[in-house]
Structure 1
Amino acid sequence: MKTVTIEELLTWAFVHELPKGGGVDGLDNANSAWRMLEASSWGKITSFAELGAIVDQGRGDTENYWIEQGEPHDDAVAVGRAVAGLSRCDIAVPAGWNALADWPDTEGMAEAAVRKAVERYMVRT
Protein backbone atom coordinates (compact mmCIF):
# COMPACT_ATOMS: atom_id res chain seq x y z
CA MET A 1 0.00 0.00 0.00
CA LYS A 2 1.27 3.46 -0.90
CA THR A 3 0.44 6.54 1.14
CA VAL A 4 -0.48 9.61 -0.92
CA THR A 5 -2.27 12.89 -0.32
CA ILE A 6 -5.83 13.31 -1.53
CA GLU A 7 -4.56 15.71 -4.18
CA GLU A 8 -2.06 13.14 -5.46
CA LEU A 9 -4.76 10.45 -5.46
CA LEU A 10 -7.20 12.58 -7.45
CA THR A 11 -4.48 13.62 -9.90
CA TRP A 12 -3.43 10.02 -10.44
CA ALA A 13 -7.01 8.85 -10.90
CA PHE A 14 -8.36 11.66 -13.09
CA VAL A 15 -5.25 12.63 -15.05
CA HIS A 16 -3.36 9.38 -15.47
CA GLU A 17 -5.81 6.49 -15.13
CA LEU A 18 -9.44 7.32 -15.85
CA PRO A 19 -8.88 9.11 -19.19
CA LYS A 20 -7.19 6.10 -20.75
CA GLY A 21 -10.18 3.88 -20.11
CA GLY A 22 -13.07 6.30 -20.47
CA GLY A 23 -13.54 6.96 -16.76
CA VAL A 24 -15.94 4.90 -14.72
CA ASP A 25 -17.75 3.90 -17.93
CA GLY A 26 -14.68 2.07 -19.22
CA LEU A 27 -13.58 1.80 -22.81
CA ASP A 28 -17.19 2.02 -24.02
CA ASN A 29 -17.14 5.73 -23.19
CA ALA A 30 -16.76 7.75 -26.40
CA ASN A 31 -14.42 10.12 -24.54
CA SER A 32 -11.89 7.48 -23.52
CA ALA A 33 -8.39 8.20 -24.78
CA TRP A 34 -8.42 5.04 -26.88
CA ARG A 35 -11.73 5.94 -28.52
CA MET A 36 -10.56 9.51 -29.13
CA LEU A 37 -7.80 8.17 -31.37
CA GLU A 38 -10.56 6.93 -33.65
CA ALA A 39 -12.53 10.17 -33.47
CA SER A 40 -13.53 11.84 -36.72
CA SER A 41 -12.12 15.14 -37.90
CA TRP A 42 -15.46 16.71 -37.14
CA GLY A 43 -15.22 15.38 -33.59
CA LYS A 44 -11.91 17.22 -33.18
CA ILE A 45 -13.54 20.45 -34.39
CA THR A 46 -16.42 19.96 -31.96
CA SER A 47 -13.95 19.38 -29.14
CA PHE A 48 -12.13 22.59 -30.06
CA ALA A 49 -15.42 24.50 -30.18
CA GLU A 50 -16.39 23.41 -26.67
CA LEU A 51 -13.41 25.20 -25.12
CA GLY A 52 -12.30 27.54 -27.86
CA ALA A 53 -8.76 26.20 -27.56
CA ILE A 54 -6.60 23.18 -28.18
CA VAL A 55 -5.81 21.67 -24.80
CA ASP A 56 -2.82 19.53 -23.83
CA GLN A 57 -0.93 19.97 -27.05
CA GLY A 58 2.79 19.51 -26.56
CA ARG A 59 5.49 21.98 -27.50
CA GLY A 60 7.12 19.50 -29.87
CA ASP A 61 5.81 17.48 -32.76
CA THR A 62 5.85 14.21 -30.85
CA GLU A 63 4.69 15.27 -27.39
CA ASN A 64 1.32 14.18 -26.05
CA TYR A 65 0.63 11.74 -28.86
CA TRP A 66 1.29 8.61 -26.82
CA ILE A 67 -1.38 7.27 -24.54
CA GLU A 68 -1.50 4.17 -22.48
CA GLN A 69 -4.22 1.90 -23.72
CA GLY A 70 -6.38 -0.42 -21.70
CA GLU A 71 -8.63 -0.25 -18.72
CA PRO A 72 -7.94 2.16 -15.87
CA HIS A 73 -6.73 0.78 -12.55
CA ASP A 74 -9.56 -0.56 -10.35
CA ASP A 75 -8.61 1.86 -7.57
CA ALA A 76 -8.94 4.79 -9.98
CA VAL A 77 -12.41 3.59 -10.98
CA ALA A 78 -13.34 3.40 -7.28
CA VAL A 79 -12.09 6.99 -6.80
CA GLY A 80 -14.09 8.12 -9.84
CA ARG A 81 -17.26 6.50 -8.52
CA ALA A 82 -16.71 8.03 -5.08
CA VAL A 83 -16.28 11.50 -6.58
CA ALA A 84 -19.38 11.00 -8.76
CA GLY A 85 -21.25 9.99 -5.60
CA LEU A 86 -20.49 13.38 -4.04
CA SER A 87 -23.26 14.84 -6.19
CA ARG A 88 -25.77 13.06 -3.94
CA CYS A 89 -24.41 14.72 -0.79
CA ASP A 90 -25.91 17.73 0.91
CA ILE A 91 -23.62 20.68 1.49
CA ALA A 92 -23.75 23.77 3.67
CA VAL A 93 -22.10 26.91 2.31
CA PRO A 94 -21.31 29.38 5.10
CA ALA A 95 -22.26 33.01 4.53
CA GLY A 96 -19.29 34.99 3.25
CA TRP A 97 -17.33 31.87 2.27
CA ASN A 98 -14.41 32.72 0.00
CA ALA A 99 -13.42 29.59 -1.89
CA LEU A 100 -10.63 31.41 -3.71
CA ALA A 101 -9.04 33.40 -0.89
CA ASP A 102 -5.54 32.20 -1.79
CA TRP A 103 -5.91 32.57 -5.58
CA PRO A 104 -4.44 35.43 -7.61
CA ASP A 105 -6.82 38.00 -9.05
CA THR A 106 -8.85 36.45 -11.88
CA GLU A 107 -10.73 39.66 -12.67
CA GLY A 108 -13.94 38.10 -11.41
CA MET A 109 -13.98 35.10 -13.75
CA ALA A 110 -13.18 32.44 -11.14
CA GLU A 111 -15.42 34.10 -8.58
CA ALA A 112 -18.30 34.04 -11.09
CA ALA A 113 -17.74 30.32 -11.67
CA VAL A 114 -17.79 29.64 -7.92
CA ARG A 115 -20.89 31.79 -7.48
CA LYS A 116 -22.65 29.88 -10.28
CA ALA A 117 -21.69 26.51 -8.75
CA VAL A 118 -22.90 27.58 -5.30
CA GLU A 119 -26.19 28.83 -6.76
CA ARG A 120 -26.65 25.52 -8.56
CA TYR A 121 -26.14 23.61 -5.32
CA MET A 122 -28.43 25.91 -3.38
CA VAL A 123 -31.25 25.27 -5.87
CA ARG A 124 -30.89 21.54 -5.23
CA THR A 125 -31.33 21.86 -1.48
Structure 2
Amino acid sequence: MRKKSSTPNRGFRVADQIQRDLTELIARELKDPRVGMVTVQSVEVTPDYAHAKIYFSVLVGDPKECEIALNQAAGFLRNGLFKRLMTHTVPTLHFHFDQTTERAADLNALIAKAVSSRAQDD
Protein backbone atom coordinates (compact mmCIF):
# COMPACT_ATOMS: atom_id res chain seq x y z
CA MET A 1 0.00 0.00 0.00
CA ARG A 2 1.28 3.41 -0.95
CA LYS A 3 1.88 5.89 1.82
CA LYS A 4 0.06 9.18 1.48
CA SER A 5 2.14 12.30 1.29
CA SER A 6 2.24 14.26 4.51
CA THR A 7 2.36 17.53 2.59
CA PRO A 8 -0.42 17.79 0.01
CA ASN A 9 0.14 20.06 -2.97
CA ARG A 10 3.89 20.09 -2.41
CA GLY A 11 4.46 19.90 -6.15
CA PHE A 12 2.44 23.07 -6.67
CA ARG A 13 4.35 24.89 -3.95
CA VAL A 14 7.69 23.80 -5.39
CA ALA A 15 6.58 24.91 -8.87
CA ASP A 16 5.49 28.30 -7.52
CA GLN A 17 8.80 28.78 -5.74
CA ILE A 18 10.72 27.80 -8.88
CA GLN A 19 8.65 30.31 -10.87
CA ARG A 20 9.41 33.14 -8.43
CA ASP A 21 13.11 32.33 -8.21
CA LEU A 22 13.53 31.87 -11.97
CA THR A 23 11.85 35.19 -12.65
CA GLU A 24 14.36 36.91 -10.40
CA LEU A 25 17.35 34.95 -11.74
CA ILE A 26 16.49 35.68 -15.37
CA ALA A 27 15.93 39.37 -14.72
CA ARG A 28 18.98 39.99 -12.53
CA GLU A 29 21.68 37.46 -13.28
CA LEU A 30 21.24 36.26 -16.86
CA LYS A 31 23.26 38.49 -19.17
CA ASP A 32 22.46 36.90 -22.54
CA PRO A 33 21.42 39.61 -25.04
CA ARG A 34 19.06 37.18 -26.79
CA VAL A 35 16.93 37.05 -23.65
CA GLY A 36 14.80 40.16 -23.58
CA MET A 37 11.99 40.96 -21.22
CA VAL A 38 10.83 37.47 -20.24
CA THR A 39 7.78 36.64 -18.16
CA VAL A 40 7.62 33.17 -16.64
CA GLN A 41 3.98 32.17 -17.12
CA SER A 42 3.89 28.77 -15.43
CA VAL A 43 6.01 25.88 -14.22
CA GLU A 44 5.08 22.20 -14.32
CA VAL A 45 7.15 19.83 -12.19
CA THR A 46 7.12 16.06 -12.60
CA PRO A 47 6.07 14.05 -9.52
CA ASP A 48 9.65 12.90 -8.90
CA TYR A 49 10.97 16.50 -9.22
CA ALA A 50 13.42 15.41 -11.92
CA HIS A 51 12.18 17.71 -14.68
CA ALA A 52 10.40 21.04 -14.87
CA LYS A 53 8.72 22.57 -17.91
CA ILE A 54 8.90 26.33 -17.78
CA TYR A 55 6.48 28.23 -20.00
CA PHE A 56 7.45 31.82 -20.74
CA SER A 57 6.38 34.75 -22.87
CA VAL A 58 8.51 37.49 -24.37
CA LEU A 59 7.58 41.16 -24.50
CA VAL A 60 10.46 42.21 -26.75
CA GLY A 61 12.52 40.03 -29.05
CA ASP A 62 12.33 36.80 -30.99
CA PRO A 63 10.65 33.96 -29.04
CA LYS A 64 12.64 31.20 -30.78
CA GLU A 65 15.99 32.87 -30.11
CA CYS A 66 14.96 33.48 -26.52
CA GLU A 67 13.91 29.83 -26.10
CA ILE A 68 17.27 28.66 -27.45
CA ALA A 69 19.14 31.04 -25.16
CA LEU A 70 17.14 30.01 -22.08
CA ASN A 71 17.64 26.31 -22.80
CA GLN A 72 21.38 26.94 -23.20
CA ALA A 73 21.42 28.80 -19.89
CA ALA A 74 19.36 26.12 -18.13
CA GLY A 75 22.40 24.75 -16.29
CA PHE A 76 23.33 28.19 -14.99
CA LEU A 77 19.75 28.83 -13.89
CA ARG A 78 19.51 25.38 -12.29
CA ASN A 79 22.66 26.13 -10.31
CA GLY A 80 21.10 29.39 -9.13
CA LEU A 81 17.96 27.53 -8.10
CA PHE A 82 20.04 24.97 -6.23
CA LYS A 83 21.44 27.76 -4.07
CA ARG A 84 17.97 29.18 -3.36
CA LEU A 85 15.69 26.16 -3.01
CA MET A 86 15.66 24.10 0.14
CA THR A 87 14.94 20.81 -1.61
CA HIS A 88 16.95 17.65 -1.98
CA THR A 89 16.89 17.74 -5.77
CA VAL A 90 16.50 20.57 -8.23
CA PRO A 91 14.77 19.60 -11.47
CA THR A 92 16.31 19.81 -14.91
CA LEU A 93 14.83 22.86 -16.62
CA HIS A 94 13.14 22.74 -20.02
CA PHE A 95 11.97 26.09 -21.42
CA HIS A 96 9.01 26.36 -23.80
CA PHE A 97 7.51 29.46 -25.38
CA ASP A 98 3.92 29.97 -24.20
CA GLN A 99 1.68 30.90 -27.12
CA THR A 100 -1.42 31.49 -25.01
CA THR A 101 -1.32 35.28 -25.33
CA GLU A 102 -0.91 35.11 -29.11
CA ARG A 103 -3.78 32.65 -29.41
CA ALA A 104 -5.96 34.85 -27.22
CA ALA A 105 -5.24 37.87 -29.43
CA ASP A 106 -6.10 35.84 -32.54
CA LEU A 107 -9.37 34.67 -30.98
CA ASN A 108 -10.26 38.22 -29.95
CA ALA A 109 -9.64 39.38 -33.52
CA LEU A 110 -11.88 36.61 -34.87
CA ILE A 111 -14.63 37.47 -32.40
CA ALA A 112 -14.41 41.16 -33.26
CA LYS A 113 -14.58 40.31 -36.97
CA ALA A 114 -17.64 38.11 -36.43
CA VAL A 115 -19.38 40.78 -34.36
CA SER A 116 -18.69 43.48 -36.96
CA SER A 117 -19.94 41.28 -39.81
CA ARG A 118 -23.09 40.47 -37.84
CA ALA A 119 -23.66 44.18 -37.16
CA GLN A 120 -23.34 44.92 -40.89
CA ASP A 121 -25.86 42.19 -41.74
CA ASP A 122 -28.48 43.66 -39.37
Same fold (TM over 0.5): no
Greater strand percent: which structure? 2
Per the normalisation by structure 1, the TM-score is 0.24
Q: Which has the higher helix share?
A: 1
Which protein, 1 or 2, shows the higher relative CO under an 8 Å CA cutoff with sep ≥ 6?
1
Q: TM-score, normalised by structure 2?
A: 0.25
